Structure 1
Amino acid sequence: MFTLLDVSTLLTIFFITIIISVLSGIIFLNKRIPVAYVRIHICLLTLPPFVALVGLIGASKNITVGLWYSDILAWLMSCFVLMIGLIIQRYCVRYLSSDKKYRKYFMLFTCTTSFVAMAWLSDDMRLMVVCWGFTLVGLALLMSLKKAWKVTRVATVVTGKLFFLGWFALFVAVLWLGIATGEWRFHAIFTETNLNQIDAWSKFGINLLIVLAVMIPAAQWPFQRWLIESVAAPTPVSAIMHAGIVNAGGIMLTRFSPIFNGDLATLVLLFFASISVVIGSGISLVHVDYKRLLVGSTIGQMGFMLIQCVLGAYIPAIIHLILHGLFKATLFLRSGSAVRHFSVPSRANERMSYLWILAGRGLALAIGLGFWLSAPEQGYRLVSGLILAWSLSVSWTQLVAFGEGRFGRIMGLIILIVVGAVYYIVHHFFSHALHMIAFDSAQPPMFAVVIVALLLLFGSLMSTWIARHRSSVAFSIIYMWIVRLGDAKMETVERHPNYLKSYISKGGH
């Protein structure tokens, strides 16, 4: 393990590598620098995530060094965001090679990921707010690079306004909290003495502002519009949004968990996050545009991540946002080659398939029930058991029940076992690593757990009913309502990017 001096040295090296990568991006803006320099820039970008990985593995944790704080969450998220940024910029080397703003993308990607990494490493709330603000500015500028296209101009304005609202809410919450406690450091604020200085109404007001600050970047209803309209942005920009920015709410709530846990504001967040899960899931089911389908999925997944935080399950929420970020970045970077193949399962052996479905549901119910009863005193285990049972039931139906013949079912079962084993190993690894996070892990009130469980059961029953009554009036109303929610405004929709006409006429490609 590193000593305090070594942690200070490691942080110094880390920020030196950040400065080098940012300067490299600025140098690349000079048109006299050959385009081939981008390869050197990519090599320099490997330094910050490597140093962050060293800090994650070997640095002493829960240590304050100046304005910075060394703990497992800070190093993990810094390493994760910088690695995602490196992968996306490597992808952009060829993908954006014909773009007029080619050089600016690399500079803005580098600055955006660098600021968000510093935000999670900061121990001073004021510094965190400043770094998070520059992150949102960088993301808005990335969307605005195609300003010749009216669609992206309008989408950038909408996104910028909502980002400012979310950032301002966080700014006021931090200012209020700092004035109430007389402290600005995370490790000093959340002591019993300082928390007792905050009266109930101030605590409720601060938490409402934090809720607003996390809902907007997470694209939760009714603020999901910016993410829906951002599909006009280039694919790499969408990838960095969904992989490293929208999931910031889970990290913020983890940092502010000592004041957030048990407050009435958690019920407000639970209400909006639950609606967002339903809306996001619906959008991902009814829309055919690939990027919009992914947007709906992200809205739903981020809603569930915030529900995890409401229930006090911060470690599962962190694991969720990391795995979701990796998964969603992969899907966006592969979106250009995405081809959907629709096939209707054979009805020749429908009775046998139905028996396999019943067997899978019984097995899923038994495993979910066993998972809950293994630690019934933990409220979140009930919700986890329901999700585990539902996921296993759906996977069994797709991979085993509708498998083609005996060989297909055997292969589906093998895939299910392998995926389950890999998930268990990854989940166990992260749970073991993140147990050192210093936050209040008080159990959520039982009625909140029951509400979430009932919402999940209600949503499952509703989806089953709707699937079996597709010719009903109710189905048509719900379908059109979800389609409307997932559609962008008319100002951000264009059949053909007309700006390309003048661009091509001038010799562009």
Structure 2
Amino acid sequence: MLTSFNVSILFIIFFIALLMSIMSGLVFLNSRMPLSYVRIHIWFIALPPFVAFIGLIFAHKNMAVGIWYSDVLSWLMSFFVLIIGVIIQRYCVRYLMGDRSYRKYFTLFTLTTSFAATAWLTGDLRIMVISWGLTLACLTILISLTSAWKVTKAAAKVTRKLFLLSWIALLIAVLWIASLTGEWQYIDIFTNTNLGQINGWERFGINLLIILAVMIPAAQWPFQRWLIESVAAPTPVSAIMHAGIVNAGGIMLTRFSPLFNGDIATLILLFFASVSVLMGAGISLVHADYKRLLVGSTIGQMGFMLIQCALGAYIPAIIHLILHGLFKATLFLRSGSAVRHFSVPNRANERMSYLWIISGRVLALLIGLGFWLSAPEEGYRIVSGLILAWSLSVSWTQLVAFGEGKFGRIIGLALLIVVGSVYYLVHHYFSVELHTISFQSVQPPTFVIIVVAIILLLGSVMSTWVARHRSSTAFSIMYLWLVRLGDAKPETVERHPNYLKKYISKGGH
């Protein structure tokens, strides 16, 4: 374990590496610099996550070093955001080759991940607010970088307005906290003495502002529009949004957890997050467009992450956002090869598949029930058990029930076991490590947890019934409503980038 002095040195090394990567991105903007320099730039941006990984493993935990804060969460999130940035930029070396803004993409990706990492490493609320604001600003510029395309400009306009509202809400909340406590750093603000100076109504108002600041980047209902419109942005931009930006709500709520203990604002968060889970799942089921399907999935997953936070399950929420980020970045970066192949099964295969589906659902239900009963005193496990059962049921259906013959089902079952084992090991490792972070968690009343579970169950039952009655009026209404929810506005949809026509007519130059 590193000493306090060594941790200070580690922070200095980290920010020197971060500054070097930013300078490299700025140098690459110079048109005289050959495009081949981008491969050297990749090595520069790989330095900060390497230092962050050292901090994650060896740095002293729960220790303030000036305006910076060293704990598992800060080093983990900095490493996660920066390594996602390295992966995406490495992917862009060939993917974006030929784009008129090729150089700008790398610079903005570097700035976006650098500011995000700084926001989570600091222990000072002023630095956090400024860094997070710059992260949102860089992301908005990334969306609008293809300025000649009206679609991305329109999407950026929607994003800019909502991000500004989110940042202003966070700024007001932080200023309000500072005016009541006279402190700017987490460790000084969240003491029993300072928390006692915040009365119930003030706490409720501050929490509402934080919830607003969290819900907008997480694309929760009714603020999901910006994420739906942004599908017009290049795939790497979507990857960094879904993997490293939309899931920031879990980190923010964990940092501000002492304010949310027992506050009625958590019920408001639960309501909006529960609606978003159902809406996101519905959008992902009815849309055929691959990126729009992933958008619906992200809305639902972020809703579930916020439900975990509202139920006081901050550690599972952090694990969820990390695994979701890695998974969603992978899906976006492979979206070009995601071509579905359909075949019409015969009646015998349909009957056999139905039996496999039923057996899979029974098995998933038993596993979810076992997950809850393993620690029934932790209320959030009821909801987590339901989500786990649903996920296993869907995975079983896709990998086993619809497998091609016996061999296909065996391979699907083996893959499901391997993925489940890896998930369990990763989940166990992060659970042990994250228990060292400093946060406060008080579970809401049992009836609240039961209400959330009932909402999710009713949504699942309703979707199952409607799917089995496709000729009914209810199916048509729900289907069209979900399609409309997941569709972008006409001004952010274009079959083909019209601005490219003039370049094509000139021979591509």
Work out whether the TM-score is over 0.5: yes
Matching residue of 2:361: 361
Gaps of 5+ in 1: none
Matching residue of 2:439: 439
Q: CA deviation at 1:351?
A: 4.8
Q: What is the one-letter code of the residue matched to 1:42?
A: I
Contact 2:229-2:488 within 8 A present in 1 as well: yes
Give the 3 Å change call, closer, same or farther, for CA 404–108 of structure 1 in structure 2. Answer: closer
Q: What is the one-letter code of the residue matched to 1:46?
A: A
Matching residue of 1:320: 320
Matching residue of 1:111: 111
Counterparts in 2 of 1:151-230, with a 5 A limit?
A: 151-230=151-230
Matching residue of 1:299: 299
TM-score, normalisation: structure 1: 0.97
Contact 2:274-2:456 within 8 A present in 1 as well: no
Counterparts in 2 of 1:74-473, with a 5 A limit?
A: 74-348=74-348, 350-473=350-473
Give the 3 Å change call, closer, same or farther, for CA 495–371 of structure 1 in structure 2. Answer: closer
Q: What is the one-letter code of the residue matched to 2:336?
A: G
Contact 2:52-2:78 within 8 A present in 1 as well: yes
Give the 3 Å change call, closer, same or farther, for CA 374–497 of structure 1 in structure 2. Answer: same
Inter-partner Cα distance in structure 2 for 1:92 and 1:395: 31
Please say which of residues 196-205 and 363-372 is displaced more in the overlay. 363-372
Give the 3 Å change call, closer, same or farther, for CA 394–504 of structure 1 in structure 2. Answer: closer
Instruction: Give 3-state SS (helix, strand or coil) of 1:348's partner.
Output: helix
Residues 113-136 of structure 1: CA distance to partner in whole angstroms, max 9, x if unpaired? 000000000100011000000001
Instruction: Give 3-state SS (helix, strand or coil) of 1:482's partner.
Output: helix
Q: What is the one-letter code of the residue matched to 2:21?
A: S
Q: CA deviation at 1:337?
A: 1.8
Residues 327-353 of structure 1: CA distance to partner in whole angstroms, max 9, x if unpaired? 111111111222012234443155554
Q: What is the one-letter code of the residue matched to 2:319?
A: I
**Aligned residues between the structures:** 509
Residues 341-375 of structure 1: CA distance to partner in whole angstroms, max 9, x if unpaired? 22344431555544443333333222222221221
Contact 1:345-1:402 within 8 A present in 2 as well: no
Q: What is the one-letter code of the residue matched to 1:272?
A: F
Q: What is the one-letter code of the residue matched to 1:63?
A: M
Contact 2:278-2:456 within 8 A present in 1 as well: no
Give the 3 Å change call, closer, same or farther, for CA 449–8 of structure 1 in structure 2. Answer: same
Contact 1:261-1:310 within 8 A present in 2 as well: no
Report the RMSD for the aligned CA atoms in angstroms.
Answer: 1.4
Residues 87-126 of structure 1: CA distance to partner in whole angstroms, max 9, x if unpaired? 1111111111101111111111111100000000010001
Inter-partner Cα distance in structure 2 for 1:207 and 1:367: 35
Matching residue of 1:46: 46
Inter-partner Cα distance in structure 1 for 2:326 and 2:150: 31
Inter-partner Cα distance in structure 1 for 2:166 and 2:230: 17
Gaps of 5+ in 2: none
Please say which of residues 114-123 and 481-490 is displaced more in the overlay. 481-490
Give the 3 Å change call, closer, same or farther, for CA 503–355 of structure 1 in structure 2. Answer: closer
Matching residue of 2:58: 58
Residues 275-329 of structure 1: CA distance to partner in whole angstroms, max 9, x if unpaired? 1111111111111111111111111111111111111111111111111111111
Please say which of residues 69-78 and 376-385 is displaced more in the overlay. 376-385
Q: CA deviation at 1:11?
A: 0.2
Please say which of residues 81-90 and 386-395 is displaced more in the overlay. 386-395
Instruction: Give 3-state SS (helix, strand or coil) of 2:64's partner.
Output: strand
Contact 2:292-2:486 within 8 A present in 1 as well: yes
Inter-partner Cα distance in structure 2 for 1:390 and 1:214: 26
